[in-house]
Amino acid sequence: MKKLLFIVNPRSGRTKSRAPLFDAVARFSQAGYLVYVHMTDGPGDATRVARELGEQFDLVVCSGGDGTLNETISGLMQLSRRPWVGYLPNGSTNDFAASLHIPSQTENATEAIVRGDPFPLDIGTHNGRSFAYVASFGAFTRSSYSAPQATKNALGHFAYILEGLGDLDSLRPYHCRVVADGEIFEGDFIFGAVCNSTSLGGLVKLNPDRVKMDDGKFELLLLRTPKTALDLQNLIVAITSMEYDYPGVIFRHVKSVTVDTRDDIPWSLDGEYAPSEPHVEIRNVPGAIDLVLYHDDQRH
């Protein structure tokens, strides 16, 4: 019998009803899996369980937000033999799930895992720490990990927007030197992201036609610091309209990125806080995780 490790974050999501999760366990059992359920008890627990138990299972499914997925993948990335991974999005924004068209309803997402096939997903490392879809700094970044969980649960996207707008009132430039596959960008930036997603914090959107999550490359997005309020307004319009050739916008497809700075630049990895470091190395690990996906139109 196939074995399934079901990692559940009981604190994520807007509803505390466990009924969909019981139904998910029943469906997995019906599909031939012996299911072991683990309810996480705090930050880092999903990583620990995935690392300690992951090799014993054929499939690891996590239920929670993007942070829970980040922890689960971080644990699995430390294994020599990695099981397949399934994701039941139950967070506040679920950027990653939206990028891959994973259903938001637990019942539909469960069925997609049961009927799906493995998709070789690129994973990133940030000074050795794994992330599933984005490493970012600057505007809109602090909001992803500073908004209280209760606020996220109650307001969802709106909480991020409120926090993001708060950042706009106090935008600060970060001076750094960015080297992307040998190309050098130096100066003051209000935002930077190395990502494998079409949505960042529910605020910044990338053109889905320009993002492939299994091509061995990430998308690098840098926004230079605007000089005037009008420049800032135009920059926001350009990003919203996905105009990547606009002055002040740097957009590249890259395998590796290094960031050197003397400034204090806190990072966000899949919405989880990462402290500032003077030298950051970001690498793409192609096809590192087999994520189980199913879509009626076969778009992965």
Q: Which residues are catalytic?
A: 272
| CA–CA distance, 91 with 89 (Å, rounded to integer) | 6
Count Cβ atoms below 10 Å from residue 260 Cβ, excluding itself.
14
Q: What is the DSSP string of 5-39?
A: EEEE-TT-SS----HHHHHHHHHHHHTTEEEEEEE
Cα end-to-end distance, the chain, whole Å: 28
**Number of Cβ atoms within 10 Å of the Cβ of 136:** 24
Contact 268, 141 (CB under 8 A): yes
DSSP one-letter string for 119-131: EEEEEEEETTEEE
